[in-house]
């Protein structure tokens, strides 16, 4: 019995040792393999296909870099910053305004303080703070949102803070003056069509699937102009004037482009992510910019120079190495 036990024990020890070695070998053999995840946004937004475009560029060169990038759909900017800093994501797409606030320890990061490990990689497409209202909601001007059911965005999204900022400028208290909902953008389009919300905010590049869906149903809808941009920029200088290209949504009830304000989508990472990984991603996107731009219509305006704008956290050393080599810095 004793003998049988020790044979079993020996077998177990060997199995453990063997498995341990196997694991180590796999680790050593896979030293050149790096798996990275890019946090994006809702599947009907532009971050999700943007993450797909970036991962496509880098995965094409798997044989040279050994990097396998995958994309995760998330709640958006604020979630992405926090997940990058917690080490749950290596990269994330983040609105330029949230990048600024996180690095300085403002707004959502007021209590936790400055996020010094946050690093900028490059900026991507412009995003407009967009409000779409149902025609039958009684919302014509922005001020008309008082008393209405408005989706300001789920916690963790970028638009939630933008909605609150602009309401402050208009003297609207989001906790008292409107019935605020916190839905994901993919749900918001359907809820508007179902008559369960009057309007929704979404800070997003154009064109995008959410507004295509929300303007194509039987309940007619229109974009609402946000005109108090001068006062907004005085209070929050990290925003810029912008507009919604209505031609992208032929079923919207607007006649022409709609005034609003906006930010830029930016790729962020942490100082803990190795330089060679960030270098490879930066290089592949910049060296294949013409191919990259074909992957989404919101990228049409991109130039290598413009992709260094809107970065307020320090540029990651790996990205900086590429920018110096390319003469961009």
Site residues (CB under 6 A) for ligand GLU?
41-42, 45-47, 76-77, 95, 127, 157-159, 203-205
> Which position's Cβ is nearest ligand GLU?
76
78 or 285, CB closer to ligand GLU?
78
Distance CA 42, CA 130 (A): 15
Contact indicator for 181, 151 with CB cutoff of 8 Å: yes
Encode 173-207: b = buried (16+ Cβ within 10 Å), e = exposed. Answer: ebeebbebbebbbbbbbebbbeeebbbbbbbbbbb
Name the minimum Å distance from CB 158 to ligand GLU.
Answer: 3
Name the minimum Å distance from CB 258 to ligand GLU.
Answer: 18
127 or 181, CB closer to ligand GLU?
127
Name the minimum Å distance from CB 213 to ligand GLU.
Answer: 14
Name the minimum Å distance from CB 280 to ligand GLU.
Answer: 24
186 or 304, CB closer to ligand GLU?
186
296 or 321, CB closer to ligand GLU?
296
Name the minimum Å distance from CB 263 to ligand GLU.
Answer: 8
76: left (phi over 0), alpha (psi -120 to 50) or beta: left
Distance CA 282, CA 214 (A): 35
Distance CA 45, CA 130 (A): 12
Say how many Å lie between the first and final Cα of the chain, rounded.
Answer: 74
Nearest CA to 202 among 77, 49, 43, 45?
Answer: 45
77 or 269, CB closer to ligand GLU?
77
34 or 306, CB closer to ligand GLU?
306
Contact indicator for 224, 253 with CB cutoff of 8 Å: no
Contact indicator for 166, 177 with CB cutoff of 8 Å: no
Alpha helices in 87-228 (DSSP H): 96-104, 159-169, 185-193, 209-214
Contact indicator for 120, 314 with CB cutoff of 8 Å: yes
95 or 270, CB closer to ligand GLU?
95
Name the minimum Å distance from CB 296 to ligand GLU.
Answer: 10
Name the minimum Å distance from CB 188 to ligand GLU.
Answer: 12
């Amino acid at each position: 019995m004793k003998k049988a036990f020790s044979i079993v024990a020996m077998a177990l020890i060997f199995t453990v040792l063997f498995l341990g070695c196997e694991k180590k070998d796999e680790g050593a053999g896979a030293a050149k393999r790096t798996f990275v995840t890019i946090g994006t946004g809702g599947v009907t937004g532009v971050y999700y296909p943007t993450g797909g475009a970036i991962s496509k560029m880098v995965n094409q060169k798997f044989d040279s870099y050994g990097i396998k990038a995958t994309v995760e759909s998330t709640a958006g900017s604020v979630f992405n910053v926090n997940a990058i800093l917690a080490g749950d994501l290596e990269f994330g797409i983040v609105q330029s305004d949230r990048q600024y606030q996180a690095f300085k320890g403002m707004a959502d990061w007021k209590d936790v303080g400055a996020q010094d490990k946050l690093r900028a990689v490059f900026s991507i497409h412009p995003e407009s703070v967009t409000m779409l209202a149902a025609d039958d909601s009684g919302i014509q001007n922005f001020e008309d949102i008082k008393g209405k059911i408005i989706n300001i965005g789920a916690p963790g999204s970028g638009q939630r803070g933008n909605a609150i900022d602009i309401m402050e400028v208009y003297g609207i208290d989001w906790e008292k003056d409107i019935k605020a909902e916190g839905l994901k953008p993919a749900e918001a389009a359907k809820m508007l069509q179902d008559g369960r919300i009057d309007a929704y905010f979404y800070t997003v590049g154009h064109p995008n699937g959410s507004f295509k869906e929300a303007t194509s149903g039987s309940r007619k809808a229109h974009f609402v102009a946000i005109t108090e941009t001068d006062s907004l920029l005085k209070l929050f200088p990290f925003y810029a004037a912008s507009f919604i290209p209505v031609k992208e949504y032929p079923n919207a009830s607007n006649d022409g482009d709609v005034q609003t304000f906006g930010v830029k989508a930016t790729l962020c990472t942490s100082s803990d992510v190795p330089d060679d990984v960030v270098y490879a991603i930066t290089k592949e996107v910049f060296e294949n910019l013409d191919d990259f731009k074909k992957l989404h219509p919101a990228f049409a305006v991109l130039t290598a120079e413009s992709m260094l704008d809107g970065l307020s956290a320090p540029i990651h050393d790996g990205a900086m190495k590429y920018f110096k080599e390319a003469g961009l810095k």
